[in-house]
């Protein structure tokens, strides 16, 4: 029997990865969709008067098996994919889009929901139940339930097409990432590169049966090369390849897909009565509308731009004095920034890396979680993994109760997409008085151990691990009744608060002393290096802010207006970047064609939320600093009013309950050094 369709008789009911074969997925999806339809039919055919319990709650728990299969499959498609899985994804996505539409366009079901919604004052609902009812009603009305038949049909067609296009977009980016390699046989061309990067590149060449060194577009290979390689021509080659993903004249070109996605999203929003896709999306965000987002982005832009321009002029001057560079290009940025940082702070990532052995950093983030939230992480070896590199943990609270199962997947490989993310294989929820605990995962792409060294992280990788672990805590500490309101199921401009706030601990002496120990000698990181990390935290903050804002503006450029007249992806991008460009444009490059966050992930009209959440996190961390970074009082408030609450209430209500007031944007500007502290 198909293992996906049985109860998982595994420790903690975890996914039975070792028993799963690719051929199990399609039949499992088809069966689970059929079963979920039966669940819906049961709700619709109920002869009793619609109530919260027999309609809204019943709908919430309908199709749970399908949710579980989807979580397993699509997580594998991101972290351990292959041609066969990608092919199945192309087949399955339209089926899921169709099923989703079958639900949201089911008139009889919507009638029952509408009845409960209109009579909501008759039921004695908790705050969480009111939120669930509101979200269920809106998920129908915002997805066409109130449309006439002809428009519903059109909506189905658009959704089906979009689901395929988004998948194709991601597959093209992954294919382009995997297809490129920079093969170097002359060591003299690799001057400046740290030993660890050379060792990794040599190992990669060996695995491919080649001599010399191979560098790729995977971050652990790409970033050190761009930061340290003295050979400007090779930096240029690699940078152009990185920026050309999805923008080359080959079968992986994403330009047409970008235009189609943007236009279909606009058409869909219009069909539902919204001015643009951004108006549609932002109705369900803290920001509420595109005007607020654009005002927010431009307000920060006004504050950051003068600082960014000063920093850029200094960097240009520095590159000219050092190497006679007349025009600073994009492939020069990381290299000269690193050189200038070393000069100003005598701080080099390579000096820091020996203090950040991955194993120690993992123990460090666990210790921080224990001090703040009383959590204990025990590595377990009886849980199935989808790849041998994955680590598995049992998470316990201070009374020894299970809080969560935690998977951690740290190293790059061909079947894994670039970047870092948190996800879940099973959400937390309460059913029949049983508090089902979540199965949470973080996936990263860090430097692998070599023959002579363990995995040593750059400081940026350390903050990435803390960031994703912050998301993981949001999932692990969830304590809500309904799965769709649990953990990270919150407004997208709120979801980055738990992740970004945890990054702050990476800059604090009290936290660093817990885990930043030399991998050979065991000595703690010297105080002077901690001071330098803190001092350099705002280095080029103006330029970094400008870069983030440019991505937010590009997102709004695609989704905050009618895109039907746009015919050229590159031209549209240049227009969006107009007020934020520091470096000369690179004709062969285009960001949109590999901007997976907004064209494949869920960040369309939401990229601004990284900066939005930074305002929240800077303000929240000021509270921790006032009381002490391991203050149990503040940590308990953050856990009880933010982390455990998921999406049960409006985020601003939750935030004010934690902080006692609305966030102050000046906290971010102070931390970034853009205004006086």
Report the chain's C-alpha Rg in angstroms: 25
Tally of CB atoms within 10 A around 187: 12
Give the list of residues 6+ apart from residue 324 with CB closer than 8 angstroms, or none: none
Q: What does each C-alpha distance from 602 to 78, 416, 471, 597, 635 come to in angstroms?
A: 14, 18, 15, 6, 29
Torsion of CA 86, 90, 96, 100, to 10 degrees: 120
φ and ψ at residue 339, rounded to 5 degrees: -65, -45
Name beta bridge partners: 184: 213
Spatial contact of 580 and 546, defined as CB atoms under 8 Å apart: yes
> DSSP labels for 144-182?
TTTS-HHHHHHHHHHHHHHHHHHHHHHHHHHHHHHH--E
Spatial contact of 260 and 268, defined as CB atoms under 8 Å apart: no
Separation of alpha carbons 316 and 153, rounded Å: 56
Among 468, 541, 614, 622, the active-site one is 468
Separation of alpha carbons 258 and 566, rounded Å: 11
Separation of alpha carbons 92 and 603, rounded Å: 22
Spatial contact of 122 and 476, defined as CB atoms under 8 Å apart: no
According to DSSP, the β-strands at 421-426 and 402-409 are: unpaired
Separation of alpha carbons 176 and 207, rounded Å: 20
Element (H, E) at 118: helix 107-118
Give the sign of the dihedral formed by CA 143, CA 645, CA 493, CA 610. negative
Separation of alpha carbons 246 and 173, rounded Å: 6
Spatial contact of 615 and 655, defined as CB atoms under 8 Å apart: no
Name beta bridge partners: 434: 431
Among 511, 508, 510, 512, residue whose Cα is nearest residue 525:
512
Separation of alpha carbons 214 and 203, rounded Å: 8
Task: Report how far apart the first and last C-alpha atoms of the chain are (Å, whole number).
Answer: 64
Reported residue count of the chain is 677
Separation of alpha carbons 446 and 412, rounded Å: 7
Separation of alpha carbons 605 and 290, rounded Å: 8
Separation of alpha carbons 477 and 403, rounded Å: 7
CA atoms within 13 A on the CB side of 554: 28
Q: Would you call 213 exposed, middle or buried from its count of C-beta atoms within 10 A (0-12, 13-18, 19+)?
A: buried
Q: 176 catalytic, yes or no?
A: no
SS3 625: helix
SS3 395: strand
Separation of alpha carbons 588 and 253, rounded Å: 13
Which amino acids are annotated catalytic?
A: 468
């Amino acid at each position: 029997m198909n293992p996906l369709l049985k109860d998982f008789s595994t420790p903690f009911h975890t996914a039975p990865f070792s028993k799963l074969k690719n051929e199990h997925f399609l039949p499992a999806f088809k069966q689970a969709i059929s079963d979920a339809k039966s669940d819906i039919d049961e709700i619709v055919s109920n002869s009793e008067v619609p109530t919260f319990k027999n309609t809204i709650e019943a709908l919430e728990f309908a199709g749970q098996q399908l949710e579980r299969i989807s979580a397993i499959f699509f997580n594998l498609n991101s972290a351990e994919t292959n041609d066969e899985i990608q092919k199945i994804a192309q087949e399955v996505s339209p089926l899921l889009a169709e099923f989703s539409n079958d639900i949201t366009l089911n008139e009889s079901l919507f009638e029952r929901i509408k009845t409960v919604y209109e009579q909501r004052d008759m039921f004695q609902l908790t705050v969480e139940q009111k939120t669930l009812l509101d979200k269920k009603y809106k998920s129908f009305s915002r997805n066409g339930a109130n449309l006439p038949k002809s428009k519903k049909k059109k909506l189905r067609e658009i959704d089906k097409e979009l689901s395929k296009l988004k998948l194709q977009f991601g597959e093209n980016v992954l294919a382009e990432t995997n297809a490129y390699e920079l093969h170097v046989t002359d060591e003299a061309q690799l001057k400046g590169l740290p030993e660890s990067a050379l060792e990794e590149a040599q190992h990669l060449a060996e695995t491919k049966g080649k001599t010399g060194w191979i560098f790729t577009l995977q971050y652990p290979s790409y970033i050190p090369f761009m930061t340290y390689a003295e050979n400007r021509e090779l930096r240029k080659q690699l940078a152009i390849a990185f920026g050309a993903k999805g923008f080359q004249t080959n079968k992986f070109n994403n330009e047409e897909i970008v235009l189609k996605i943007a236009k279909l999203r606009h058409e869909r929003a219009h069909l539902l009565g919204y001015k643009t896709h951004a108006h549609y999306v932002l109705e369900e965000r803290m920001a509420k509308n595109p005007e607020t987002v654009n005002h927010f982005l431009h307000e920060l832009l006004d504050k950051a731009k003068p600082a960014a321009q000063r920093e850029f002029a200094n960097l240009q001057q520095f590159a000219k004095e050092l190497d006679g560079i007349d025009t600073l290009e994009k492939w020069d940025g990381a290299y000269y920034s690193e050189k200038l940082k070393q000069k100003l702070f005598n701080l080099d990532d390579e000096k820091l890396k020996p203090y950040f052995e991955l194993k120690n950093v993992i123990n460090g983030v666990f210790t921080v979680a224990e001090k703040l939230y009383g959590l204990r992480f025990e590595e377990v070896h009886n849980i199935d993994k989808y790849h041998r590199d994955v680590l598995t943990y049992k998470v316990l609270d201070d009374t020894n109760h299970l809080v969560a199962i935690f998977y951690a997947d740290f190293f790059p490989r061909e079947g894994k997409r670039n970047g870092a993310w948190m996800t879940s294989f099973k959400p937390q929820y309460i059913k029949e008085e049983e508090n089902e605990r979540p199965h949470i995962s973080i996936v990263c792409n860090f430097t692998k151990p070599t023959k002579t060294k363990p995995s040593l992280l750059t400081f940026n990788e350390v903050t990435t691990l803390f960031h994703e672990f912050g998301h993981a805590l949001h999932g692990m500490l969830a304590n809500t009744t309904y799965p769709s309101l649990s953990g990270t199921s919150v407004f997208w401009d709120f979801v980055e608060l738990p992740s970004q706030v945890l990054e702050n601990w990476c800059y604090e002496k009290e936290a660093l002393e817990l885990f930043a120990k030399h991998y050979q000698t065991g000595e703690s990181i010297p105080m002077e290096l901690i001071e330098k990390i803190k001092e350099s935290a705002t280095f080029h903050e103006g330029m970094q802010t400008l870069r983030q804002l440019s991505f937010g503006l590009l997102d709004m450029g695609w989704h905050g207006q009618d895109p039907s007249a746009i015919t050229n992806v590159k031209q549209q991008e240049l227009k969006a970047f107009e007020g934020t460009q520091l470096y000369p444009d690179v004709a062969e490059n285009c960001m949109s064609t590999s901007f997976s966050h907004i064209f494949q992930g869920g960040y369309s009209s939401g990229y601004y939320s990284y900066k939005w959440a930074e305002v929240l996190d800077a303000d929240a961390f000021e509270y921790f600093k006032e009381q002490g970074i391991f203050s149990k009082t503040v940590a308990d408030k953050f856990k009880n009013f933010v982390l455990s609450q998921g999406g049960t209430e409006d985020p601003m209500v939750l935030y004010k309950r934690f902080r006692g007031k609305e966030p102050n944007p000046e906290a971010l500007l102070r931390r970034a050094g853009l205004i006086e502290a």
